[in-house]
Structures are given as structure tokens and as C-alpha cells.
């Protein structure tokens, strides 16, 4: 029985407070798909508040905001990724991909040493 392949969680830590990890990347992706911060949050069972705070943090960390949003209007409002936002998301995905490939040998080596009963469920 081959257990589920190990997954990589990569976080880039800039300076002291700003960082980018899987959570924010996924949120960006879902905002692009849904066109809404609230819908993006719901789709990953995250409270709107939390989603909004993550967006605010990201917008503050980069030179230009990653997410632009508008209130009111026909459908109440909405949000979309800016050019910078799309670029950041693309770079992060590329980073994940490149790193995953580069580390596959070590990952396999580690997995070979693992106990093959990860859970007694």
C-alpha cells in the first residue's frame, strides 16, 4: 500500500512580518475565480473577516495592492486581482512547482524512512 504522497508547504518569509504561504496563495486564486473576497472565503470555509484581513495584509506588504475591490453596485460589489496580484500568484505557483521538482529525490528518501502506518484509523 503506497500511502498518500508527502505534500510540501512552502512559505516565503520577507522581513519581520510579511510572509506568503499556501493559505494566501489559495485565497488569491479563489478571488480570481470568484470575483469576490466573500465568496473566496466561503469556498475555503474561512470567515469573511479573516479573508479580508489576509487581503489587507498582502496589499500592505507589496508596492501595489494585489487585490482591488469595489463596494455597492449592481451585485453589491466585488474584487479582482490586479496585475501585481496575478504576477505574485503566478510566481508563487512557479516557485512551488520548481521546488517540488528539485526536492523530489530527498522527499522520496525521507518517505522511505517513514513508518508506513501513518494513522490507525
Partner DNA sequence: AGCGGATATGTTCCTCAAAACATATCGCAG
Partner DNA sequence: CTGCGATATGTTTTGAGGAACATATCCGCT
Build a one-symbol-per-residue string for 60-99: x at contacts with its own copies by CB under 8 A, - elsewhere: xxxxx-------------------x--xx--xx-xx--xx
- Applying CB under 8 A, among 2, 16, 72, 73 the residue interacting with its own copies is 16
Instruction: Select from its own copies, DNA, none the partner in contact with residue 75, using the beta carbon and a kind-dependent cut-off of 5 to 8 Å.
Output: DNA
CA 22, CA 34: separation in Å to the nearest integer? 18
- From residue 17 to residue 46, what is the string marking binding to DNA with x (rule CB under 7 A)? -------------------xxxx------x
CA distances from 31 to 3, 51, 55 (A): 32, 10, 10
Are 68 and 82 in contact by the 8 Å Cβ rule? The answer is yes
Residue of 57, 69, 75, 68 whose CA lies nearest to 19: 57
Q: Which of 8, 13, 44, 50 binds DNA (CB under 7 A)?
A: 50
Spatial separation of the C-alpha atoms in residues 30 and 13, rounded to whole Å: 22
Q: Which residues bind DNA (CB under 7 A)?
A: 36-39, 46-50, 52, 55-56, 69-79
Amino acid at each position: 500500500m503506497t500511502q498518500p504522497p508527502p505534500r510540501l508547504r512552502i512559505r516565503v518569509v520577507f522581513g519581520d512580518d510579511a510572509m506568503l504561504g499556501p493559505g494566501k496563495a489559495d485565497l488569491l486564486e479563489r478571488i480570481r475565480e470568484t470575483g469576490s473576497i466573500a465568496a473566496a472565503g466561503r469556498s475555503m470555509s474561512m470567515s469573511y473577516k479573516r479573508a479580508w484581513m489576509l487581503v489587507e495584509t498582502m496589499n500592505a506588504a507589496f508596492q501595489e495592492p494585489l487585490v482591488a475591490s469595489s463596494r455597492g453596485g449592481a451585485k453589491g460589489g466585488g474584487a479582482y486581482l490586479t496585475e501585481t496580484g496575478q504576477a505574485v500568484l503566478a510566481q508563487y505557483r512557479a516557485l512551488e512547482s520548481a521546488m517540488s521538482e528539485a526536492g523530489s529525490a530527498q522527499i522520496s528518501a525521507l518517505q522511505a524512512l517513514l513508518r508506513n502506518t501513518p494513522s490507525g484509523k
